[in-house]
Amino acid sequence: MNPNPVLVEVLRGGAVESMHRGAVAIVDADGRGMLALGDVSRAVFPRSAVKLLQALPLVASGAADALKLTDEEVALACASHNGEPAHVATARGMLAKVGLDADALECGAHWPGLDTATRELAAQGQAPGPLHNNCSGKHAGFACLACALHGRDGLRGFFGGYVGPGHAVMREVTAALQAATGADLAHAPAGIDGCSIPTYAIPIDRLALAFARVATGQGLSADHARAARRLRQAIARAPFMVAGTGRFDTRVMQALGERVCCKVGAEGVYCAALPERGLGVAIKMDDGNNARAADVVMAAVIEALLNLGSDEAALLRGLSAATLRNWRGTEVGQLRASKELRGALA
Amino acid sequence: MNPNPVLVEVLRGGAVESMHRGAVAIVDADGRGMLALGDVSRAVFPRSAVKLLQALPLVASGAADALKLTDEEVALACASHNGEPAHVATARGMLAKVGLDADALECGAHWPGLDTATRELAAQGQAPGPLHNNCSGKHAGFACLACALHGRDGLRGFFGGYVGPGHAVMREVTAALQAATGADLAHAPAGIDGCSIPTYAIPIDRLALAFARVATGQGLSADHARAARRLRQAIARAPFMVAGTGRFDTRVMQALGERVCCKVGAEGVYCAALPERGLGVAIKMDDGNNARAADVVMAAVIEALLNLGSDEAALLRGLSAATLRNWRGTEVGQLRASKELRGALA
């Protein structure tokens, strides 16, 4: 098997110091490939890049409407957030709407993803809990879905063990993922995600197809098509909730609104829906690098596929061709999309 | 050019999720290659992996003896430390010996590399200074070298601008690097390191040769051979100083003492001297990943090249074939040296 191409280069003093290989699929809702760079048939764990797909039942079940979830709350259900105070408060509020609290969450605890949020928490003498976990909004969304499936009475008991693949909540979530991607998840390689729910390996081009379906509604059930639209709109209106301060998803969607619905996942996975183009995008970096690999590729993809105003173009170019500085602020190099990637996208 | 081989694999649920490519050179002091896996002729920025070579003038000049530097101080001059209180205090003490303080350092400031050290600093309402920079010991060593070159009078003025390639201090440091590696640094690709000093791209097999010379003394001037021995001994006696809590270099040298002298560098570089084998090792991961790529390769190399007791073997195997757990502590996968790497080392 040929190795995947180099998609991102890291330069120091004009020389390439490090490089990142990966694969990119861009397809329409009929599954027609617009770009297949690298081995896009490889099955990869999509991790958090498919949180929007996993949130389809939250809306399609009627739970989001019944509980009057706000745009912020719906967006947080699709988030890998920074654990900033607003994220934590919103997740807490979602749980309160179904009579639960942080103790019901099975995602585990970790310090906030944003350094300054971690230092503020430490400065207050506090330690992180499950609400600080970047997946707490997704899990709070699962609690809301559980309420729709079961009702409020005895919800805590019903909800317990929801991260297991056989639980009623997780069966709904997995069925939505299977329907959107068309992948046979019962026979896919399975693993356990960072937040303890199952994750299934899905071909990269199938992930792109799922996001083309999210972009267009085409190929989804009517309920899921409506849910996808609601999720996209909520994220576009509350992009801070899906990530947070300084993060790619937040910055790009603050600038582009509903034109892009993108979501990063661990281990260098990135997915996006581009409604005006009717396209879905899926990226997997071989080495699992997000911040300086998958992000750069996604920026170059968005630059190539959308007509951007000058401010938007400057934002995206700053992400796909970034100046690197050292601790003293001296310019030391560049992070950039490779010529091979730019050429394939041209 | 053929891509470098996969040296490290990251598994989730039994499937390979991500992988890391790179090159490894193992040579003796005559430059005879014992292993050349991947493109070992590629010139790479060695970054902090060559701090021991950059510290040769500190000892060879007589500065370390004249200033009565302790093993801890000499080791810290070769360190990429965690910014823990003991590291900060030791760097401060070195500067005090030549009448300088943190204001003389040109390395820039960053929060400690160890999360708990950062949170403790934040909890005390403090911010990091240049002494917390992982390179502060190296820079304090430069100050000691400057004192030997210039004397104490007007040292602050003489030392100013020491990170520039033309400064007397940096010329000594670069000359030592050139002598040890045999590389022509005047014509090598040059960049600026994270701590603002120059970094020069050097072929991987030449870096391995330099560490074979450190291991044996062979091929170095008599002064540098003695200095290399002193540096190796100081690091073996004070391995906490070269890295810190939880770090590979500290843990492995605490266990193996003078049998291994290893040093990580940014962007997936790793070098080591193995005195009892008379060998030098140099590793560069293509994607620049240290913690879960270069570390794993170095652990597999040490396992293959040294006869280890059972405790030592267990420590190294835990680093070259590690169980991965999620935020809840559930086992989710494995991090391991690839079959290709193990096979090449067998």
Over residues B152-198, the pLDDT tens digits come to 999 999 999 999 999 999 999 999 999 999 999 999 999 999 999 99
For B123, which of A125, A289, A293 is closest by C-beta distance? A125
Asked whether the predicted pLDDT for residue B245 surpasses 90, the reply is yes
Q: Which residues contact A161 (CB under 8 A, 6 or more apart)?
A: A106, A167
Strands A331-337 and A43-44 turn out to be: unpaired
Tell me if B274 sits within 8 A of B218, measured CB to CB. no
Look up residue A222 and give its two tokens: 């009517």
Over residues B298-333, the pLDDT tens digits come to 999 999 999 999 999 999 999 999 999 999 999 999
Asked if B15 and A191 come within 8 Å (Cβ–Cβ), the reply is: yes
Q: What is the pLDDT of residue A2?
A: 84
pLDDT bin (cut points 50, 70, 90) of residue B1 is low
Closest Cα in chain A to B268: A18
For B122, which of A123, A192, A332 is closest by C-beta distance? A123
Tell me if A88 sits within 8 A of A250, measured CB to CB. no
Q: Which residues contact B208 (CB under 8 A, 6 or more apart)?
A: B25, B26, B27, B40, B271, B279, B280, B281, B282
For A196, which of B110, B286, B326 is closest by C-beta distance? B326
Average of per-residue pLDDT across B16-36: 97
Candidates A144, A107, A5, A203; CA nearest to B3 is A5
Asked if B20 and A287 come within 8 Å (Cβ–Cβ), the reply is: yes
Q: What is the pLDDT of residue A257?
A: 97
Q: 């399975």: which residue's tokens?
A: A190
In angstroms, the Cα distances linking B215 to A13, A219, B225 are 31, 64, 9
Q: Which residues of B touch A133 (CB under 8 A)?
A: 327
Q: Which residues of B touch A269 (CB under 8 A)?
A: none
Closest Cα in chain A to B3: A3
- Rounded distance between C-alpha atoms, residue A194 and residue A251, angstroms: 25
Reported residue count of chain A is 346
- Rounded distance between C-alpha atoms, residue B168 and residue B160, angstroms: 11
Asked if B14 and A195 come within 8 Å (Cβ–Cβ), the reply is: no
Q: What is the pLDDT of residue B20?
A: 98
Average of per-residue pLDDT across B5-18: 97
Tell me if A118 sits within 8 A of A244, measured CB to CB. no
Size of interface A-B (CB pairs under 8 A): 156
Asked if A327 and B109 come within 8 Å (Cβ–Cβ), the reply is: yes
- Rounded distance between C-alpha atoms, residue A264 and residue A77, angstroms: 14
Q: What share of chain B is helix, strand, coil (3-state, %, to 5)?
A: 50, 20, 30
Mean pLDDT of residues grouped by 10 in chain A (346 residues)? Answer: 93 96 98 97 98 98 98 98 98 98 98 96 95 98 98 97 98 98 97 97 98 98 98 98 98 98 98 98 98 97 98 98 95 98 98
Asked if B286 and A45 come within 8 Å (Cβ–Cβ), the reply is: no
Q: With a threshold of 0.95, does the pTM exceed it?
A: yes
Look up residue B88 and give its two tokens: 């900060």
- Rounded distance between C-alpha atoms, residue A80 and residue A270, angstroms: 12
Candidates A163, A202, A244; CA nearest to A50 is A202
Candidates B94, B163, B89; CA nearest to B132 is B89
**What ranges in B10-114 are assigned the alpha helix state H?**
51-54, 56-60, 63-66, 71-76, 85-97
Look up residue A203 and give its two tokens: 């071909």
Q: What ipTM does this complex have? A: 0.97
Top residue of B118, B192, B204 to mutate, by most chain A CBs within 10 Å, is B192
Asked if A20 and B287 come within 8 Å (Cβ–Cβ), the reply is: yes
Asked if A108 and B332 come within 8 Å (Cβ–Cβ), the reply is: no
How many C-beta atoms lie closer than 10 Å to residue A311's C-beta? 9
Asked if B18 and A194 come within 8 Å (Cβ–Cβ), the reply is: no
How many angstroms away from the CA of A165 is the closest CA of chain B? Answer: 14
Rounded (5°) CA angle A340-B287-B38: 90
Asked if B43 and A288 come within 8 Å (Cβ–Cβ), the reply is: no
**What ranges in chain B are assigned the alpha helix state H?**
51-54, 56-60, 63-66, 71-76, 85-97, 115-123, 136-150, 155-159, 168-181, 204-216, 222-237, 239-242, 248-256, 295-305, 310-320, 339-345
- Rounded distance between C-alpha atoms, residue A52 and residue A59, angstroms: 11
How many C-beta atoms lie closer than 10 Å to residue A42's C-beta? 17
Over residues B231-244, the pLDDT tens digits come to 999 999 999 999 99
Q: Which H or E run includes B190?
A: strand B190-192
Closest Cα in chain A to B22: A18
Q: Which residues of A touch B268 (CB under 8 A)?
A: 18
How many C-beta atoms lie closer than 10 Å to residue A184's C-beta? 10
Q: What is the pLDDT of residue A1?
A: 66
